[in-house]
């Protein structure tokens, strides 16, 4: 027990409260500024997130925990049955940690090799522009299909329309703040930023502001990318058709899906984009 205690103290020295880490085979990946409500069966005060993870692993009832980093309170959560996304609440001082032994701890490449996932600040393009992310991995809330047509696949960075009947961007059919375009990354991937463009050719149309949502490996819910104050980040988008605007996240997010949600636009919602991260 003394040895375990010493190891945990060393971990506390080198890990931030909200860092991801593994302990005895379980991977803990935080969803910052959120807590799972209504499932806590035990609160422990005055301990770190690392010690909280150790307590959770030792307790057969614990499948996840909320950690209040201001008050140093560990809230262990019980049976996950019946939990849905509405049970997660936006709480600035909290981080939610899901201990899921089945969570992938590596990125599978096309040749079958497994590269361990680690915190990253890489800004590689993740495959929208070059087509390595297939068309079927892109989806959208709606796509324009009246005089000319648009598809989510038309939203790739630097994508040109194949003919005069196709719009040179993803163009939503509806013009409101409920519209989105989404990428399924397949495997857990660290995403660090976004590149955006407007519609090429035709009318002057582009997105001027947007927010980013992500789905972590677990739970299967959408959470918002935050700024350094812990609030939803509203990113400045484009000012013309073809200029590429790069925006980086305050912290990388580990995601299996990324959703771009336009908040403001010029004329109508038209977007081409690429994701940045650890390829």
pTM of the model: 0.85
pLDDT interval class at 103 (50, 70, 90): very low
User: Mean of the pLDDT values across residues 215-242?
Assistant: 95
Q: How many residues does the chain have?
A: 279
Q: Do 182 and 229 contact (CB within 8 A), yes or no?
A: no
**CATH code (residue 23):** 3.50.4.10
Residue 204 tokens, joined: 């002057």
Q: Which domain holds residue 78?
A: 2-99
Residue 127 tokens, joined: 């495959």
79 and 173 in a single domain? The answer is no
pLDDT interval class at 115 (50, 70, 90): low
Best CA proximity match to 195, nearest among 249, 251, 132: 249
203 and 93 in a single domain? The answer is no
Residue with the larger pLDDT of the pair 115 and 256: 256
Best CA proximity match to 7, nearest among 19, 22, 18, 20: 22
User: Mean of the pLDDT values across residues 202-218?
Assistant: 94
136 and 80 in a single domain? The answer is no
DSSP H or E run through 277:
strand 270-277
Look at residue 17 in the predicted model and tell me its pLDDT: 42
Strands (DSSP E) along 100-177, which ranges? 106-108, 114-116, 124-125, 138-140, 170-171
151 and 256 in a single domain? The answer is yes
197 and 248 in a single domain? The answer is yes
User: Mean of the pLDDT values across residues 37-42?
Assistant: 94
87 and 138 in a single domain? The answer is no
Look at residue 202 in the predicted model and tell me its pLDDT: 79
Report CA-CA distances (Å) from 97 to 26, 107, 171, 239: 11, 20, 37, 39
DSSP 233: P
Does the pLDDT value for residue 111 go beyond 80?
Answer: no
Does the pLDDT value for residue 113 go beyond 70?
Answer: no
29-43, 52-66, 107-121, 240-254, range with the lowest pLDDT: 107-121
Answer yes or no: is 106 within a domain: no
Number of domains in the chain: 2
Answer yes or no: is 235 within a domain: yes
Residue with the larger pLDDT of the pair 259 and 103: 259
**CATH code (residue 196):** 2.60.120.260
């Amino acid at each position: 027990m003394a040895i375990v205690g010493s190891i945990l103290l060393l971990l506390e020295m080198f890990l931030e409260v909200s860092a991801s880490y593994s302990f005895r085979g379980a991977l803990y990946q935080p969803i910052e500024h959120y807590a799972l409500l209504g499932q806590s069966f035990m609160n422990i005060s005055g301990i770190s997130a690392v010690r909280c993870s150790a307590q959770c692993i030792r307790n057969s009832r614990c499948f996840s925990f909320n950690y209040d980093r201001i008050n140093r309170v560990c809230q262990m959560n019980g049976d996950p049955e019946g939990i849905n996304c509405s049970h997660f609440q936006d709480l600035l001082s909290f981080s939610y940690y899901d201990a899921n032994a089945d969570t992938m701890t590596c990125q599978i490449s096309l040749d079958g090799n497994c590269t361990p996932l680690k915190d990253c600040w890489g800004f590689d393009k993740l495959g929208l522009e070059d087509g390595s992310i297939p068309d079927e991995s892109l989806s959208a809330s709606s796509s324009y299909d009246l005089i000319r047509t648009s598809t989510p696949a038309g939203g790739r960075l630097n994508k040109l329309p194949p003919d005069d009947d196709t719009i040179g961007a993803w163009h939503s059919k509806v013009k409101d703040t409920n519209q989105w375009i989404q990428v399924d990354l397949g495997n857990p991937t660290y995403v660090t930023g976004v590149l955006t463009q407007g519609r090429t050719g035709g009318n002057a149309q582009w997105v001027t502001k947007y927010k980013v949502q992500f789905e972590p490996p677990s739970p299967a819910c959408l959470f918002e990318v935050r700024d350094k104050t812990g609030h939803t980040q509203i990113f400045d988008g484009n000012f013309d058709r073809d200029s590429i605007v790069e925006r980086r996240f305050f912290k990388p997010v580990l995601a299996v899906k990324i959703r771009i949600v336009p908040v403001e636009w010029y004329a109508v919602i038209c977007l081409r984009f690429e994701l940045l991260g650890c390829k």
